[in-house]
A and B are shown apart, each in its own frame.
Chain A
Amino acid sequence: MAEDLNWAIGGEAGDGIDSTGKIFAQALSRAGRHVFTSKDFASRIRGGYTAYKIRTSVDDVQSVVDRLDILVALTQRTIDENLDELHEGSAVIYDGERSWEADVPDEVTAVDVPLKSLAEDAGGAIMRNVVALGAACEITGFDVGYLDESLEKRFGGKGSKIVENNKDAARLGQEYVQENYDLSHLGYDLETTDNDYVLLNGDEAIGMGALAAGCRFYAGYPITPATNVMEYLTGRIEEYGGHVVQAEDELSAINMALGGARAGARSMTATSGPGIDLMTETFGLVATSETPLVIVDVMRSGPSTGMPTKQEQGDLNMTLYGGHGEIPRFVVAPTTIAECFWKTVEAFNYAEKYQTPVYVVSDLALAVTEQTFPPEAFDMDEVEIDRGKLVDEDEVDEWLDAQDRFRAHAVTDDGISPRAIPGTTDGAHMSTGLEHDELGRRTEDEGERVRQVDKRNRKVETAKNEENWDYREFGDPDADNLVISWGSNEGALVEALDYLEEDGIDVRVISVPYIFPRPDLTGEIEAADETIVVECNATGQFADVIEHDVLTRVKRINKYTGVRFKADELATEITDKLSEEVPAQ
């Protein structure tokens, strides 16, 4: 592992923490460095501790670690919250002029920079965070020119004056440290590379995937941490002739999206757990009316309002089983930010090919984390669009009954019926949440009921056979120790392999992006001596379904503090867990 740098800025919500962090992250990305960011934030607009953390390396970084090298502290609480992560080589940048003296541990270097007055010299106190970024560049030996590029990108729209003022602010911060401190003992000298990277978060990747896949209609209601999907699409979807509507509630959002889908548009809604609860009634209608719809659940801590700004993978059962009656559905769960893009593209294809609702289950850790990728990770030429059995006027004729009526819910061998969208001549038909016959008309006939239930469920069987419900694999494929994970834990797990290897522990990691249908892991689990399932919830929802599939007990690592797994922490937990007794059969 090349030397990482772990940088953070912390203060009160409303202090511009997020945008400052983003500016620095973009500068590092433009310098050809890998970046992985994480955020600590509270569910309030002003006040309350907030931090933006960046881990950067010339090597790929996919997780956070318990270590902080440079901390821009706007409050004492920022220091207190991060005490455990500060070390001998850490520097804390603070503004002593603002009538506080940073209380830092003895071994940590406190760097007092008059952030506010230097910012005022550059044109306004608002730029004090940018002064701190200049100071951070000086301490880390990072070329401030990349910061300039990032500032241009951020403030270019506000005019050259603002851009220049910000650049000045960064210079003043840099020069101040240069003139007043000798920090060469810290030994930082950040490398740059010629690599091109893009920097984005999971919500943005989902939005981009939707656009690439031809999504034209989005209806949603703001909710943390899914709102960014809507914000990303707003203003962009119009360029492709689409539209975003902010509905009055989640009930409306999913029903609007259902309407858009029935009208023939690739349609989507995104929400978080509480919103999924509200959408569940209509979810059943979507499935029964055989409407292709993509529903994104960006999970956060539950139940109820839970911890809106904290990580959890607690909705697996909800998406897998939610709703009354028995509802055929697909559940895909991206494991990385890039996969947020690809799984969204896949979701639209599954939705239309199988005429079912498809859940894309993401989580807060993916949603708010920004990570660098080479642009080829989102190669648009690889995007395929499959609209399934969408029939035109001529094909409609094949599906007319003796009375020339279109059978939109025709019982077929693969369970999939022809789909005529409004405007298709002679395709007019109704669909309903009531049990219905092939024409979509209500029925309580026993035979019809069974035929339609079987037909809808058969789509899932067809999909199980036709699609590749694969998994991603890391580590030693022949290792006796198997660790299974789903969702955002993959990055931390992959990095944990390095720590485990140092301790001589060989592990095979299987990261599963499909909850339903999902790969059969029987062979993999039987081949291993020990299996551990890692997930961010208290009860082990994925471990339960694995045990159900394989009929073997597995060990579990569960974290439900509201904070995502860290690589070093996972390595320790896996080591401990391997030495534990296997649970009783």
Chain B
Amino acid sequence: MSSDVRFTDFKSDKQPTWCPGCGDFGTMNGMMKGLAETGNDPDNTFVVAGIGCSGKIGTYMHSYALHGVHGRALPVGTGVKMARPDLEVMVAGGDGDGYSIGAGHFVHAVRRNVDMTYVVMDNRIYGLTKGQASPTSRSDFETSTTPEGPKQPPVNPLALALASGASFIAQSFSSDALRHQEIIQEAIEHDGFGFVNVFSPCVTFNDVDTYDYFRDSLADLEEEGHDPTDYEAAKEVILDGEKEYQGVMYQDENSVPYHEQHGVTEDMSDIPDGAPEDAMDLVREFY
């Protein structure tokens, strides 16, 4: 069905239970459109999701999918891609899922450069547990568990990715539909780990990092003439404490994805009916 796939083919008939106005609607639309535009279909696509509002995405999309445990979506996606390099793998999670409980996996998935797309729906708050501080919450952001703010600097996921040797780092804003979709597409097309941090506002619990805030403050790297292949320039925009950007910050043009580095090219689901023909050689090794 690949030639005439429309983005709605990636949509399930389950109505999202996200709050009206949630940024995740736009984030998901961009993902579905990005997948369709890059020539994928639900039968060759595997979507992995973690826990939280973002984790529900597997239910609202239609593809092969696993909704796993908190923070571990990246290892699942890694396993899928290693076993089946022929599949398009997309991993979705939130800022808590990816940068708190799953931070360790994030660093290692980045450095492995597994050829998959990682979309983090970053709303700078824990929504599903009703409004606690997340690792990307501002240090003075008052919540039910941090009445005076977390009093610690937020994680900079882009910098974390850069320091871990990322081959593709981008940021988008879910309500800027076209730019968001373009960026997702670039991440899908990237040979290696395509990381996109998506500002996906929480309209219920976060009254600071709002649509208006991002609309007013986000600078677009494309408009600013940023060259994503320039590592030094990437470092500058990623570590810029003053401004927030959307666009592709960094892309390593020479990126070789994990499966190619390791010669993992076969479809591992295909195995013989019995032991391999030369299996007795395995025994004879022990003579």
Contact = CB atoms under 8 A, between A and B. Distances in A.
Contact of B87 (A208, A263, A426, A434): A263
Interface in A357-406: 375, 378, 380-381, 383-385, 403
B78 interface: yes
A96 interface: no
Contacts of B80: 259-260, 262-263, 422
Interface in B44-82: 44-48, 58-59, 62-69, 72, 75-82
A286 to B, nearest CB: 10
Contact of A242 (B63, B65, B75, B268): B268
Contacts of A199: 286-287
B13 interface: yes
B76 A259 contact: yes
Contact of A241 (B68, B78, B266, B284): B266
Contacts of A384: 274
Contacts of A281: 69
B221 interface: no
A241 B1 CA distance: 29
A238 interface: yes
Contacts of B39: none
A82 interface: no
B68 A258 contact: yes
B156 to A, nearest CB: 21
Contact of A383 (B69, B105, B275): B275
Contacts of B82: 217, 243, 245, 256, 259-260
A214 B79 contact: no
Interface string A280-316: 0110010001000000000000000000000000000
Contacts of B275: 212-213, 380-381, 383, 385
A108 interface: no
Nearest to A284: B69
B283 A289 contact: no
Interface residues of A, number: 70
Interface residues of B, number: 58
B24 to A, nearest CB: 16
Contacts of B276: 211-212, 214, 240, 380
B173 to A, nearest CB: 27
B272 A198 contact: no
Contacts of A247: 75, 108
Nearest to B57: A430
A442 B43 contact: no
A125 B66 CA distance: 58
B44 A423 contact: yes
Interface in A185-225: 196-200, 204, 208, 211-214, 216-217, 219
A240 B272 CA distance: 10
B269 A212 contact: no
B216 interface: no
Contact of B59 (A262, A263, A441): A441
Interface in B249-287: 262-264, 266-269, 271-276, 279-280, 282-284, 286-287
B79 A259 contact: yes
B154 interface: no
A252 interface: yes
Nearest to B280: A380
Interface in B123-152: none
Contacts of B264: 243
Contact of B48 (A196, A249, A259): A259
A89 interface: no
A263 B78 CA distance: 11
B6 interface: no
Given A208-B283, A258-B79, A248 B104 contact: yes
A267 B79 CA distance: 9
Of A243, A249, A427, the most chain B CB neighbours within 10 A belong to A243
B67 A433 contact: yes
A30 B81 CA distance: 43
Interface in B5-49: 12-14, 42-48
A259 B91 CA distance: 12
Interface in A395-429: 403, 421-429
B207 interface: no
B14 A422 contact: no
Given A236-B282, A430-B59, A385 B273 contact: yes
A261 to B, nearest CB: 8
A255 interface: yes
Contacts of B1: 425
Contacts of A430: 12, 47, 58-59, 63-67
A104 interface: no
A433 to B, nearest CB: 6
Contacts of A265: 83-84, 268-269
A204 B286 contact: yes
Given A212-B282, A432-B58, A217 B268 contact: yes
A198 B287 contact: yes
A508 B77 CA distance: 51
Interface in A45-92: none
B222 interface: no
A392 to B, nearest CB: 12
Interface in B76-105: 76-84, 86-87, 104-105
A431 interface: yes
A230 B58 CA distance: 32
Contacts of A425: 1, 43
A266 interface: yes
Contacts of A375: 280, 283-284, 287
A238 B282 contact: no
Interface string A29-41: 1100000000000
A267 B83 CA distance: 9
B79 A238 contact: no
B283 A421 contact: no
Of A259, A265, A421, the most chain B CB neighbours within 10 A belong to A259
B78 A243 contact: no
A261 B46 CA distance: 13
A217 B79 CA distance: 8
Contacts of B263: 238
A264 interface: yes
B43 A424 contact: yes
A183 interface: no
B76 A431 contact: no
Contacts of A442: 59
B64 A428 contact: yes
A240 B282 CA distance: 12
A578 interface: no
A423 B263 CA distance: 21
Interface of A: 29-30, 196-200, 204, 208, 211-214, 216-217, 219, 236, 238, 240-243, 245, 247-249, 251-253, 255-267, 281-282, 285, 289, 375, 378, 380-381, 383-385, 403, 421-434, 441-442
14 contacts: A30-B287, A198-B283, A243-B268, A255-B75, A256-B79, A261-B83, A263-B79, A267-B83, A380-B283, A383-B274, A427-B64, A428-B42, A430-B58, A432-B58
Given A216-B268, A264-B83, 16 more contacts: A211-B282, A217-B268, A219-B75, A243-B268, A245-B82, A251-B105, A258-B68, A259-B48, A259-B77, A264-B84, A289-B66, A385-B273, A385-B274, A424-B43, A432-B67, A441-B59
Interface of B: 1, 12-14, 42-48, 58-59, 62-69, 72, 75-84, 86-87, 104-105, 107-108, 262-264, 266-269, 271-276, 279-280, 282-284, 286-287
